[in-house]
Amino acid sequence: MTEPVQGPPSDAPYGAGYPGNAPQAAGYPGGYAPGPVRRTNTLAIVSLVAGLCGFTVVPVLGSVAAIITGHMALREIRETGEEGTSFAKVGLWLGYILIGLAVLFAVGAVLLVTIAAVSSR
């Protein structure tokens, strides 16, 4: 036979009790199992962060890193099926836009210096 379950002694601190005496909640039968978790490609995240850093912290270096890692990420995503295509593409866009702006700035600077040199003669 089983012995009756007794509560904690009267001098026990608040919340003290015997483990395993709480009623167990009944589980729900059936339902759907969670699907597999698809990982985000690390290089895609690096490309996005490098593209953002290209606009703020390290302009040319960040944009070059964004372009290189973005292309590497897209290749890996195509091969492995990971998530992160949008991150890689945004990193590529940011990198290419900043490189384009840097080229325009360099051409403009050369034109200004040339115009200044010709007009000072």
35 domain residue, yes or no = no
Does residue 63 fall inside a structural domain? yes
The total number of structural domains that make up the chain: 1
User: pLDDT tens for residues 13-58?
Assistant: 555 555 555 555 566 566 677 778 889 999 999 999 999 999 888 9
H helix and E strand count, the chain: 3, 0
Is residue 76 a contact partner of residue 39, using CB atoms and an 8 Å limit?
no
Which structural domain range is residue 78 located in?
42-119
State the pLDDT at residue 61. Answer: 95
Please report the pLDDT score of residue 81 as a whole number.
93
Whether residue 18 lies inside any domain: the answer is no
Is the overall model pTM greater than 0.75, yes or no? Answer: no
Q: Which has the closest alpha carbon to 45: 11, 68, 18, 73?
A: 73
